[in-house]
Amino acid sequence: MSGVGALALAGSAGLTWALVEAQAFTLREVRVPVLRPGSRELRVLHISDLHLMPSQERKAAWVRDLATTEPDLVVNTGDNLSHPASLPVLLRALGPLLDVPGVFALGSNDYYGPEPRNPARYLLPDARSEDSHKGSPNLPGRELQAALVARGWADLGNKRAVLDVGGQQLSFVGTADAHMDLDEIPPATDADNPTTAVAHLGVTHAPYQRVLDGFLADGCDMAFAGHTHGGQLCLPFVGALTTNCDLDTGRAKGLHGWPGAMPNEDPESMWLHVSAGLGTNPYTPVRFFCRPEATLLTLVAR
């Protein structure tokens, strides 16, 4: 076989695997010592970036089955939709999870549909386009927002909330999508940060540094984000090549400290969990060394 033929075969095999891997849904599990000492542990399900199409019944069924993990809280960090007709499928997928306390921060792809783009753009540090999202929203983001609030989930788009979760109070601060420059840390009142809360959590879609720094300044013990797809196309022993924002690639997915080491090593840091998400832009339906994921985090006492 010629060198060109071997290269073509390797490329074809890599593409085939990337298409397969994009369907290899995975549940990650991690423990985080973040709660006030003496607190009971809480199970938090973090889901993000479903980019759901109406035909993706297998993904929807997998998400619905996550209810069997019996979480105490669901955190949804946005980009749920990829088609105007996806909302009913998404709500069926979330189904039993909507009976659990939840919080959410929506992303641009809850309001604006995906467009064909050169995949090489995603190798840029921040792949926003000057023309991106300037038209009218064409996805039912407002309807999604209303449906989640109607089921009791707290909207954290530039808002705050306090929830009773498993018999303990959690306080939250969130932002709208920083990828569209809509983020703003809302001002706090005494009621927003009760002294009885066992943790103060930040929730956003895109983990831009300014948002994470804002959460840290607000006293957050931990932040949740999505958006990065974990890099989506990663290299063995190297990892992500991009985060599609100004977050460093070493924090493209998983549990980290911000801005320094893990908080159990650096008391000036907060915990940061970035989900690699469950979907992709439908025009680039591939993942390589970066499986689609949800995460079950067990929050335990410090």
Q: Where are the alpha helices (DSSP H) in the chain?
A: 3-21, 57-65, 87-94, 141-150, 209-217
CB-CB neighbours of 180 under 10 Å: 16
The reported pLDDT for the residue numbered 203 is 99
Tell me which fold the domain 3-301 belongs to: Purple Acid Phosphatase; chain A, domain 2 (3.60.21)
Cβ pair 103, 73 in contact under 8 A = yes
Please report, for the chain, the start and end positions of each structural domain, with discontinuous segments joined by +: 3-301
H helix or E strand, kind and range, residue 75: strand 73-76
Q: Which two tokens stand for residue 35?
A: 């709660």
Backbone angles phi, psi at 286, to 5 degrees: -135, 150
**DSSP 8-state symbol, 40:** P
H helix or E strand, kind and range, residue 209: helix 209-217
Return per-residue pLDDT of the chain as tens, 302 residues. 555 443 344 344 444 656 788 889 999 999 999 999 999 999 999 999 999 999 999 999 999 999 999 999 999 999 999 999 999 999 999 999 999 999 999 999 999 998 876 555 555 556 554 445 556 789 999 999 999 999 999 999 999 999 999 999 999 999 999 999 999 999 998 778 889 999 999 999 999 999 999 999 999 999 999 999 999 999 998 999 999 999 999 999 999 999 999 999 999 999 999 999 999 999 999 999 999 999 999 999 99
To the question of pTM greater than 0.85 for the whole model, the response is: yes
